[in-house]
Structure 1
Amino acid sequence: MDAIASLPYSHLRAILVALCHDRYTRAKVVDMANKLAAAPPRCNGHDLALCVQCAQAFSVIWRSDNSCRFHPGSRFADMDDDTWADYGGEPKDLETDEYMAEWPDAFIWDCCEERGSAAGCQTGPHKSQS
């Protein structure tokens, strides 16, 4: 991460544009940009971060102890869901970010046994990438 953090903005922009040729990566970048744009007004560019637990924008200065709602576990494919009715492969092959984004309710959180789109089952402070 230090190598990325130390790059000039022009290099970061060039890398980001190149990565965005992939449809899935581009969708994630646009989603993150929209979340940052919708950050609370008290956040400025220097204290703004995206939470690694819930993916929401927050101020590293103004965060509270229960501002983040997240799942501490992982999602696994619910092989009884109709989405996978014609699938004959290994369940682990379905557990990709792309499939989880496209069919969230065809997955179950192992921390609370709720569907993939369920709101977080725990609360705590937002956490930024270290």
Structure 2
Amino acid sequence: MADSVLTLAIDDADHDRLQKVLKNLCRQSEHAKALIEKELLTSEPADSEEASKDEKKTAPQGKKRPRYSVCEMCREEYDVTKNTDEACTFHDGELGPLEEFWIDTDEEVWGPIDCDENKLQFPKGFKWDCCRKFADSLGCQTGRHEENASEKKKGVKRYKWTY
């Protein structure tokens, strides 16, 4: 019974609240800290195109780094230890509005057409220039996930972006 109530509380908890709870657990218990590190950190070297196989082999193995990152291309969280050449599906073009869809829309009255809110609410009103598919279509390219360095440096909260 208590486990199901705790599961509900975790599911309903705010993102910031969960971060505070985890940080407090790490401060209060070395055992809890070790368990959390095991889940959230890895000692595998960073994955980059510039790094040669020899550089990756000689990278310090004891140095810890975050196990999860947000991909620059697909904007989804991924496990850096499971990044393969087919792990990421993305569009490599620009997402633009379809004139015929918005023909009767007055931007002076309704605001700008080309905004995130409209892309989410009206995916059939936007197409990718790389494949001419609608905004909500699966990516037309595959490759390795690319770590989003700007988010990592700024400490930006990681929310899933979908169009």
Q: Same fold judged by TM-score > 0.5? A: yes
Shift of 1:69: 0.4
> 121, 125, 135: which one pairs with 1:116?
135
| Moved beyond 6 Å, runs of 4+ | none
SS at match of 1:128: coil
Identity %, equivalent residues: 29
Matched, 1:101 2:120: yes
Q: Per the alignment, in what secondary structure is the counterpart of residue 39 of structure 2?
A: coil
Match of 1:86 in 2: 104
Q: For 2:73, which of 53, 61, 74 is the aligned residue?
A: 53
SS at match of 1:61: helix
Q: 1:1-37: CA deviations, max 9, x gaps?
A: xxxxxxxxxxxx59xxxxxxxxxxxxxxxxxxxxxxx
Q: 1:101 is paired with a residue of what secondary structure?
A: helix
86, 94, 98: which one aligns with 1:74: 94
Encode CA deviations 1:75-116: one digit per residue, 9 max, x unaligned. 1101112xx2421349xx311111111111210101111111
CA distance in 2, matches of 1:64, 1:79: 38
SS state of the match for residue 69, structure 2?
A: strand
The answer for the alignment partner of 1:4 in structure 2 is none
Aligned residues: 89
Aligned counterparts of 1:44 and 1:53: Cα–Cα separation in 2: 24
TM-score, normalising length from structure 1?
Answer: 0.59
Distance 1:45 1:104 in 2: 34
**1:55–1:44 CA distance, 2 compared to 1 (3 A):** farther
Instruction: Report the 3-state secondary structure (helix = DSSP H, G, I; strand = E; otherwise coil) of the residue aligned with 1:115.
Output: coil
- SS of 2:78's partner is strand
Q: How does 1:16-27 map to 2 (within 5 A)?
A: none
Q: CA deviation at 1:55?
A: 2.1
TM-score, with structure 2 as normaliser = 0.48
Q: C-alpha distance in 2, partners of 1:63/1:44? A: 17
- Structure 2, unpaired ranges of 5+: 1-15, 18-37, 42-66, 150-163
